[in-house]
């Protein structure tokens, strides 16, 4: 089963639409920035005019191989969350412009335990590569 994953124009976090409602992968909220009252900053969502999208340009055979590698590294992280190779790998894919690998991995992550998924997404979106991707 395949899921569509999007990037929030307000907070830069990944989200999807389970049961037709916008839900952020890490928090389960509509948008953490909106929930925090726009983060205490001024202006209501100044990044709304900025559009961030996954780029789907990796050849299918490479996309599958790279996604499988991310899943394998994630399995190591599940056994020992100090093992951050999966974070480094996904950050590297973003830096190389292969955001579709991250998209496919996040779709895989939707099948994971909610608490584990939240912990992992919190780590991923805190990386400088994710910040550059959404910034």
CB atoms within 10 A of CB 119: 15
User: Which residues face 24 on adjacent strands?
Assistant: 15
**pLDDT tens per residue across span 62-86:** 999 999 999 999 999 999 999 999 9
For residue 21, CA distances in Å to 15, 53, 89, 112 come to: 10, 19, 30, 19
Q: Coil, strand, or helix at residue 68? A: helix
What is the pTM for the complete model shown?
0.82
**pLDDT tens per residue across span 97-132:** 999 999 999 999 999 999 999 999 999 999 999 999
């Amino acid at each position: 089963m395949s899921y569509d994953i999007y990037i929030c124009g307000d907070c830069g976090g990944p989200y999807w639409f389970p049961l037709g409602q916008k839900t952020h992968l890490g928090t389960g909220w509509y948008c953490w920035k909106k929930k925090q009252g726009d983060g205490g900053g001024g202006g209501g969502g100044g990044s709304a005019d900025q559009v961030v999208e996954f780029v789907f340009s990796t050849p299918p055979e490479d996309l599958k191989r790279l996604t499988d590698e991310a899943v394998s590294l994630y399995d190591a992280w599940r056994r020992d969350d100090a093992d951050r190779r999966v974070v480094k790998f996904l950050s590297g894919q973003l830096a190389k412009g292969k955001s579709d690998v991250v998209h496919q991995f996040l779709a895989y992550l939707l099948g994971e335990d909610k608490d584990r998924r939240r912990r992992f997404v919190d780590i991923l979106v805190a990386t400088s590569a994710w910040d550059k991707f959404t910034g």
